[in-house]
Amino acid sequence: TNQFTQEQIKTLDKAGVLHRTKTVDKGKRLRKKHWSTSWTVLEGGVLTFFKDSKTSAAGGLRQPSKLSTPEYTVELKGASLSWAPKDKSSKKNVLELRSRDGSEYLIQHDSEAIISTWHKAIAEGIEELSAD
């Protein structure tokens, strides 16, 4: 079958520091962008943005909840990802993630190599979760 096990999904795990901002909350466009630099973890089909970027890479991947408070968690099932159009931000290397519940996030890193690995990991996560 095409069913992915939890172990297979876990191979997509990724964590690092990204710049992000939420632009739409469940269909409602937010008036102002607030970019934050935050520790970000992709695990088990969920992308979690933590409140700050201080959590260490060593502990953060496995036990993030013990070390920092999640600010946003985005279920990748039913989400979509694209490169943000230029009118969404003047920054370079910006991804736009839309969740199934109608929220939108911009995700950015100055390094094209780094943002590309996030693009690939998130896109693969979305693809695998929608295969069921």
Q: Residue 54 CB, nearest distance to ligand I3S (Å)?
A: 21
91 near ligand I3S, rule: CB under 6 A:
yes
Cβ contact 15:31 at 8 Å: no
Residue 91 CB, shortest distance to ligand I3S, in Å, is: 5
Task: Name which of 35 and 83 has its Cβ closer to ligand I3S.
Answer: 35
Q: What string marks each residue from 15 to 34 as x (binds ligand I3S by CB under 6 A) or -?
A: -----------------xx-
Question: Is the Cβ–Cβ distance between 21 and 106 less than 8 Å?
Answer: yes
- Going by C-alpha positions, the residue among 122, 117, 97 that lies closest to residue 107 is 97
Residue 75's contacts (CB-CB under 8 Å, 6 or more residues apart) are 45, 46, 99, 100
Q: What is the DSSP letter of 109?
A: -
What is the closest distance, in whole angstroms, from the C-beta atom of residue 105 to ligand I3S in the complex? 12
Among 10, 30, 35, 69, binds ligand I3S (CB under 6 A): 35
Of 130, 77, 78, 72, the residue nearest 106 (C-alpha): 72
Where do contacts with ligand I3S occur on this chain (CB under 6 A)? 32-33, 35, 89-91
